[in-house]
Amino acid sequence: MTQEDPSNAMERVIRSDGRYPPEAYSLLHEGLSKAVQEIYGDDAQTTGRRHVSGRQLCLAIREMAIERWGLLAKTVLARWNIHSTLDFGNMVYLLIEHDFMRKTEEDSIDDFRDVYDFDKAFGGHDDFELKE
């Protein structure tokens, strides 16, 4: 029996869950890398420490989304069914449930609840609509 490639297994889990598209998980992964770099710096490479809190991850994702999409950040995230920071937690905990990520005893899905308000964090611009 051959083992499935971890990236294929993760994509299968993400698609099977269906709440958020794979692109949203790519953003999550990039946000995790950014948060780790901001918190641990170069020590992350040498010590292997990569744990960040839900709040730290949400803040890093917000910063990346604004840098990447500016006023369209909230619109892009909404297109991916992401409407609150709890959605980031749902994504993380799906990956934890399937052993693609780990958590500590102190971690909770509630760490992602109401980290920031999307309207305030992304400028409250609802005038944009993405067409297919």
Q: What is the pLDDT of residues 60-109, one digit of tens each?
A: 999 999 999 998 999 999 999 999 999 999 999 999 999 999 999 999 99
Answer whether residue 127 is part of any domain. no
User: Looking at the domain assignment, is residue 63 inside a domain?
Assistant: yes
Angle between helices 6-17 and 85-97 (to 10 degrees): 130
Angle at 121 between CA 120 and CA 126, to 5 degrees: 65
Work out the angle at residue 61's Cα, subtended by the Cα atoms of residues 56 and 28, and round it to the nearest 5 degrees.
100
Q: Whole domain around residue 113: which residue ranges?
A: 6-120
Domain presence at residue 96: yes
Residues 45-68: tens digit of each pLDDT = 666 667 899 999 999 999 999 999
Distance of CA 21 to the CA centre of its chain: 12
Whether the predicted pLDDT of 35 surpasses 80: yes
For residue 132, being part of any structural domain is answered with no
Flag whether pLDDT at 7 surpasses 90.
no
For the chain, helix (H) and strand (E) counts, in that order, are 7, 0
The verdict on residue 57 lying in a domain is yes
What is residue 63's predicted lDDT score, i.e. its pLDDT?
96
Task: Indicate the average pLDDT of the chain.
Answer: 88
The whole-angstrom separation of Cα 5 and Cα 7 is 6
At 1 the pLDDT is 45
* pLDDT value for 129: 60
Asked if residue 10 is part of any domain, the answer here is yes
Mean pLDDT (whole number) for 5-16: 86
Number of domains in the chain: 1
**Which of 24-33, 37-46, 52-61 is predicted with the least confidence, judged by mean pLDDT?**
37-46
In-domain check, residue 98: yes
| Residue 34: inside a domain | yes
